[in-house]
Chains A and B, each alone.
Chain A
Amino acid sequence: MKRLKRMVAVFMMVVLVLALAACGKSSKTKDGKTLLTFQIWDVAQKDGMQAICDAYSKKNPDVKIEVQVTSWDEYWTKLEAAAVSNQMPDIFWMHTNEILKYADYGKLADLTDLYEDENYYKEHFSDVSIANSQGSDGHIYAVPKDKDTVCLVYNKEMFDEAKVSYPDENWTWDDLTEASQKIYDATGKYGYMAYGDDQLGYWNFVYQNGGYILTKDKEKGGFDQKATRDAMKYYINLQKEDWCPDQNYFAETSPGTAFFSGEGAMFLEGNWNLLSEMKNYPDMVGKWDVAVLPKCPNPESGDGRATISNGLGYATSATGKNLEIVKDFLRFAGSEEGQRIQGESGAAIPAYEGLEDTWIKVFDDFDYVIDVQKCVDMFDYSVQSVNNKYRSVWKPKVTEELLKIYSGKVSIDKGLDKINEYINTAKNDE
């Protein structure tokens, strides 16, 4: 019996040691430095982020930061699970789609007073950037990291072949459709590919027409407004033209794939994809360029110009163990120096005002320099990316209803009514 007791004791010990070993995730390196983890979702930006971390470590030799990449699809599932178990990474990217949820549930550290100068954010970041970093209470929960716009990408060769002049600042929707028709007639290729996407599609058209997706207080949908409905009808009906592929085509081939395999002449692209497209399609370099979005010729209100601008932020957990050290790093990431390193790495357009050129210069390395200045020009009239607290509730339903409209299962009017209803009732679901 004694032997048995001893064996059980040994067994229990082993279990205990194993359990302890699993929990003991140390935040120190072997040589006593503080080790921070930094979670991001974009592989293309890993080197840029690491460069910022290295620059910080150079100044603060006792802090080491490790950048980890998780794919976009897994990122939010993982982050939410980590938030539940209080194991969030020390530093992580925040996105406008999710920031309200995380901020309002108290998962993010309040960074409003991160800088001693209380006007720091206002002085160095645009209103759109700040809005993208705020929780519902107006406090700042993420240091603005970058900003982006949506631009028109076009195939120069097809324009030349159809003898149409390239898109410029004066282009309107009419020019867009006219050019598309001419290109289709001359080359047999698609013109503008009006993909059923929000940020890279109809949102831009709605705001150009003076409409809106959400009211200013973000409480109600704008799909009952004439300006919004007209723009939606215009955009959806583009797929009925011969020169535009339909949603079935896009189900198999994304507009980007079609464009870079020479099947279509134009599509809307986010500036954050341009660098990797230059790198990934070397045969296409010199054959395409970038323009500002065409404007609405007769808007209900406004001057017809708009582009959706989104931005990411650096955030940290409200209950992090190394909060003070992390805050110091965030201060650095939001400083001119930190933002400059980001721009020069080509990762994205720095949110910090006045550093846009650092990102533009990255494109000078290519044989043909595309006109990325156009992406930056559009900040003058950019619109904040659409979000509210209940976005995750209405967004999938809106997408689904839109697909029904595209496939003709419901009429545009009925579908848009339904979409507005989904947005307005989303909060009851919360």
Chain B
Amino acid sequence: MSKAKRQEAFWGYLMVAPTIIGLIVLNFYPFFDTLKLSFAKTLPFGLYKMQGIDNYVKMFSSAEFWKATWNTIYFCILTVPIGVFISLIVAIMLNSKIKGRTAFRAIFFLPMVVAPAAVAMVWKWMFNTEYGIINSVLHAHINWVSNPHIIMITCAIVAIWSAVGYDAVLLLSGLQNISKSYYEAASLDGASKIQQFFHITLPMVSPTLFVVIITRLMASLKVYDIIYMIVEQSNPVLTDAQSLMYLFYRESFVSGNQGLGSAIVIWTVFLIGIVTAVQFVGQKKWVNYEI
């Protein structure tokens, strides 16, 4: 390598150093540490001793763990398709020429600005069986927060509500990249609005849609804060609602068993990895990158 080239390489490394160092210190190191801890028996005050695969054996033989895994998947099934669909509808509406469009965009984005804990807190009161506004409007007596069959739907509603604004803004940017001329040409050919949606909008926005689905799915697999705030640990439906991350929290920080907690995290990483890999393979069938 010539001197000039070497110097250039040096400056290149220097420039990316902050990001790389940050990534190593904040992401890689903790990941490998977690991996290590998942094979260890943890004691208080950061002490631990290695013990092999005991944590995994214990984890895979625990009914609570499989229930939490199912709860997490169920939560994804409830939130991702509906949430993304609503976001797309909202994005299309915000993209059309309606009065006060900017105001609506801001309003839909607002839930994203509020802390998730505060969001869940307010919703929890709205869902209260005795005094909640939702039951009083519906003239019903639904145990939103304490019925084991309804609790996940309750959490899903809150999750969708808080995510729609953000996803809609992402999709909106995708929609705005679509040239008007496609629609003009299509209407000259006599295509209806519905046909335009399926043959122009959907293919053209598919790259953005793909990103939205992937990030939403990952976020849903890692759901914690909303469920934690709505379902207290003294709630009888706890096992029917706890997600993997909630179980991780309870094992690591309530029971002080970080080893088992780490094993749960590794399992979640594995799960997210599989889901994401499947999506990347599947995207070839429906995502259109040729604009």
* Same complex: yes
Binding site for B on A (CB under 8 A): 4, 77, 80, 83-84, 101, 105, 107, 196-197, 247-253, 261, 263, 392-393, 396-397, 399-400, 403, 406-407, 429-430
Extra contacts, 11 of them, besides A253-B130, A396-B254, A399-B234 (Cβ < 8 A), are A105-B44, A197-B234, A248-B236, A249-B129, A251-B232, A252-B146, A261-B131, A392-B254, A393-B256, A399-B233, A400-B238
- Interface of A: prevailing SS: helix
11 A–B pairs (Cβ distance < 8 Å), ordered by A:
A84-B46, A197-B234, A248-B147, A248-B236, A251-B236, A251-B237, A252-B146, A253-B131, A392-B255, A399-B233, A403-B235
Complex: chain A residue closest to B143, CB-CB: A248
The residue from B44, B130, B131 contacting A80, defined by CB atoms under 8 A apart: B44
State the CA gap A230–B233 with chains docked (Å): 26
**Docked CA distance A406–B234 (Å):** 11
> From A406, which residue of chain B is reached at the shortest CB distance?
B236
Question: B232 — nearest CB in chain A belongs to which residue?
Answer: A251
| Residue contact A248 to B45, C-beta cutoff 8 Å | no
Asked if B145 contacts A252 (CB within 8 A), the reply is yes
Q: Which B residues from 187 to 229 make CB contacts under 8 A with A?
A: none
Which one, A84, A196, A251, A396, contacts B255 given CB within 8 A? A396
> B254 contacts A252, CB within 8 Å?
no
Q: How many residues of B contact A (CB 8 A)?
A: 32
Please state if A253 and B255 are interface contacts (CB–CB under 8 Å). no
A403 touches B128 (CB 8 A): no
Closest chain B residue to A247 by CB distance? B236
CA distance A174 to B17 in the complex (A): 73
Question: Chain B nearest CB: distance from A109 CB in Å?
Answer: 16
Q: Answer yes or no: B106 CB below 8 A from chain A CBs.
A: no
Q: A251's contact among B145, B239, B254, B256, by CB below 8 Å, is which?
A: B145
Say yes or no: A251-B146 contact (C-beta < 8 A), given A393-B255, A430-B43.
Answer: yes
Question: How close is B239's CB to chain A, nearest CB, in angstroms?
Answer: 7
Which of A4, A399, A403: most chain B CB closer than 10 A? A403
Residue interface bits B145-169, CB-to-A below 8 A is 1, else 0: 1111000000000000000000000
**Cα distance A407–B45 when bound, in Å?**
36
Task: Return chain B residues, CB-CB under 8 Å to A77.
Answer: 253
Q: Which residue of B lies closest to A245 (CB)?
A: B130
* Known A248-B236, A400-B238; contact A253-B256, beta-carbon cutoff 8 A: no
- Least CB distance from B87 to A in Å reads 30
CB neighbours of B131 from chain A (8 A): 253, 261
Closest CB-CB distance, B67 to chain A, in whole Å?
A: 12
Interface residues of B in 110-154 (CB under 8 A from A): 124, 127-131, 143, 145-148
